[in-house]
Structures are given as C-alpha cells and as structure tokens.
C-alpha cells in the first residue's frame, strides 16, 4: 500500500489552497513574509533530496527559518501540503506541442513527459492519486494529455481509460526504476556486480533439470540486460505494447465509424 495518497486532508481547505482562494488565508499568528509557494518549494526540495518521509511540518519550518506554528498559518498539515507539492510539480511539467503529429507520437510524448516528472521528483512515484488533487496544475495536465487522444473516434470514457492505462504504466515503470537505483545505492553494487557476486551460490542451488525453462530464459534475459531487470528496457518494451493495445481500440472505433458512414450513405442512396 502506498505510504501517501492525495486528497486525504480537508477537501474544502485543500481546494482553497490549490486555487489560491483568498478566503483560505488564515489570520492566525505571525506571517513573517512567507507565502504558500515558498512553503511548497521548500517541502519539494526536501522530498527531492531525501524522500517524502523526510517532509514534516517541523522540518519544512526549520528549512524556512520559522517556528512550526508559523507554518500552520499557511498549510493545515502534511496531507494538504502533499497535494500542493504534486499540483505544483504538475504545473511545471514540460508540455510538448505535438499538434498535427500521428497519435502514437502524441501519446509517446505524454508518456515521456510523465517519465521526466518522476525522474525529477522520485517521491511522486509512490503517491497514490486515485483521488487526484484537482488544482490548476492537475487540470492543465489533464487537458493537455487528453488532447493526444482527442479526435481518434474514442468516447469520452474511453479517452479517460486510455490515459489512465498509460499513466499507470509509466508510474509503475518509474517506481521500479527508483527502486533499482535505491537498491544499488544501499548495496553499493550495480545489478551486474550483484549477480556476479551471487553467481557461485546460484550455480550450486539451481537445478537446471528441475527448472529448465526458468534457467534458460533467465540466463538469456540476464545476458541481454546485464541484470534480471533493466528499467529502461522494460519501459521501452512496455510502452510499445501499450501503444499496440490502444491501436486495437482506436482502429476498432475507426472501423465502426467507417461502417456506420457507409450504412448512412446506402440508406440515402436513391
């Protein structure tokens, strides 16, 4: 289960903060010249460097040079702060102009933009967004991404489904890549070094007769990727399969539209 999820705080207060509604400004306590944006930037910097667990109201206050109670005059707590951090990250994402390009290139650009987001903010890979922070960054991101699927004969629900499927894949790959980097950092060994170190033991305990397919395929994959898992290859291979799956749905819709048009034409033919 994810350690953190969006929209877990006070929904009214969170939306007011996300949209910078003036009624969300608290009048309690000293201001000392801070702003919500400054709080979000400080929290994001901590998360980028040390992970989301390091982000506490006390730690953010310390980095900003204020007492913790001052911070609460801007943000009620970490739940609301997480929504602000993620929405800010969404707002700052690069938006590729793919107008006029084939749909595969448009969808690939969306995948790459989200992959870059997770590389820039690895903590975001572990955040559950089934209840997304409906702030300006989120809505701008959603509008931009849907444009890659618009005009392809998909229903509105299918467009949302396709985008969800794509982004779920990208987030899963990004999380696996982050886990791989963490494993290398913790062990001080890259994957190839780890396997070479453990190869003698594996050679003794793995019975090729008992697991012939697993040993054969595992050896081939390991030789190809210098590891049991290559995050970059998994992303590249998986993205093509996602695109192929979307193509089947899009082509089916195009065939249906063509058939419907032909039937209409036949119906009005004299």
CATH of 4-91, one of 3.40.50.970, 1.10.10.60, 3.40.50.720, 1.10.260.40: 1.10.10.60
- Model confidence, pTM: 0.87
**Per mean pLDDT, which range of 16-20, 117-121, 161-165, 256-260 is the poorest?**
256-260
Confidence class of residue 185 from pLDDT cuts 50, 70 and 90?
confident
Nearest alpha carbon to residue 92 among 37, 49, 131: 37
CATH of 103-268, one of 3.30.300.30, 3.40.50.300, 1.10.357.10, 3.30.365.10: 1.10.357.10
The count of other CB atoms within 10 Å of the CB of residue 158 is 16
Boundaries of every domain in the chain: 4-91, 103-268
What values do phi and psi take at 5, rounded to 5? Answer: -145, 150
Q: Do domains 4-91 and 103-268 have the same CATH topology?
A: no
Give the C-alpha separation, 259 to 270, whole Å.
19
Confidence class of residue 125 from pLDDT cuts 50, 70 and 90?
very high
Q: For residue 108, give every residue at least 6 positions away whose Cβ sits within 8 Å of its Cβ, in sequence order, or none.
A: 239, 243
Give the C-alpha separation, 42 to 20, whole Å.
18
- pLDDT for 172 beyond 60: yes
- pLDDT for 32 beyond 60: no
Q: Which residue has the tokens 């036949």?
A: 266
Structure token digits, residue 73: 């005059």
Q: For residue 43, give every residue at least 6 positions away whose Cβ sits within 8 Å of its Cβ, in sequence order, or none.
A: 55, 60, 81, 84, 85
DSSP per-residue letters across the chain: --SEESS-S-HHHHHHHHTT-GGG---SS--TT--HHHHHHHHHHHHHHH-GGG--HHHHHHHHTS-HHHHTTT-S-HHHHHHHHHHHHHHTS-----TTS-HHHHHHHHHHHHHHHHHH-GGGGGEE-SS---SHHHHHHHHHHHTTTTTSS--HHHHHHHHHHHHHHHHHHHHHHHHHHHHHHHHT--HHHHHHHHHHHHHHH--TTTSHHHHHHHHHHHHHHTSS--HHHHHHHHHHHHHHHHHHHHHHHHHHHHHHHHHHHHHH--
Task: State pLDDT tens for residues 142-164.
Answer: 999 999 999 999 999 999 999 99
């Amino acid at each position: 289960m994810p350690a953190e999820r969006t929209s877990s705080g006070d929904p009214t207060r969170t939306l007011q903060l996300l949209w910078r509604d003036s009624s969300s400004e608290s009048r309690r306590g000293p201001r000392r010249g801070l702003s919500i944006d400054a709080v979000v930037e400080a929290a994001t910097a901590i998360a980028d460097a040390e992970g989301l667990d390091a982000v506490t109201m006390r730690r953010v206050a310390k980095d900003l040079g204020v007492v913790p109670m001052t911070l609460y005059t801007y943000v009620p707590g970490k739940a609301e702060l997480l929504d602000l951090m993620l929405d800010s990250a969404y707002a700052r994402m690069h938006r590729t102009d793919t107008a006029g390009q084939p749909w595969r290139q448009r969808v690939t650009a969306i995948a790459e933009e989200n992959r870059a987001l997770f590389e820039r903010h690895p903590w975001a890979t572990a955040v559950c967004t089934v209840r997304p922070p409906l702030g300006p960054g989120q809505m701008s991101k959603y509008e931009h991404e849907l444009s890659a699927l618009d005009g392809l004969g998909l229903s509105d629900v299918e467009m949302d489904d396709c985008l969800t499927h794509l982004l779920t894949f990208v987030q899963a790959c990004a999380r696996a890549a982050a886990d791989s980097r963490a494993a290398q950092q913790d062990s001080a060994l890259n994957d190839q070094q780890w396997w070479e170190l453990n190869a003698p033991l594996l050679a003794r305990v793995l019975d090729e007769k008992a697991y012939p397919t697993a040993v054969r395929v595992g050896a081939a994959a390991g030789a190809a990727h210098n590891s049991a898992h290559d995050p970059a290859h998994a992303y590249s291979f998986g993205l093509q399969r996602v695109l192929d799956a979307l193509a089947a749905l899009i082509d089916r819709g195009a065939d249906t539209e063509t058939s419907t048009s032909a039937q209409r034409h036949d119906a009005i033919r004299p």
